[in-house]
Amino acid sequence: MILMFIDHVHQMFAGAGVPGWVDWFGRPVATIFFFMAVEGFIHTRNQKRYMF
């Protein structure tokens, strides 16, 4: 969550001079999020409810 927050702050304040290397911390967050969502879907008992 912290890395996602840092990525969003960078996107909001990129024009204010936030350095570009700050964006590197947030890049793996989407990949980790998608992996965890698929793992949760596979291991849940009720997949229809999970998708809802």
pLDDT at 50 over 90: no
pLDDT at 28 over 90: no
Confidence of residue 36 (pLDDT cuts 50, 70, 90): very high
Distance CA 24, CA 43 (A): 31
Average pLDDT, rounded, for the chain:
86
The Cα angle at residue 36 between residues 18 and 43, in degrees rounded to 5: 170
Domain boundaries, the chain: 2-51
What is the rounded average pLDDT of the residues 6-10? Answer: 83
Residue 3: partners with Cβ closer than 8 Å, 6 or more residues away: 25, 26, 28, 29
Tell me, what's the pLDDT at 34? Answer: 92
pTM to 2 decimals? 0.61
What is the rounded average pLDDT of the residues 14-30? Answer: 83
Provide the 3-class DSSP secondary structure of residue 46: coil
Residue 40: partners with Cβ closer than 8 Å, 6 or more residues away: 50
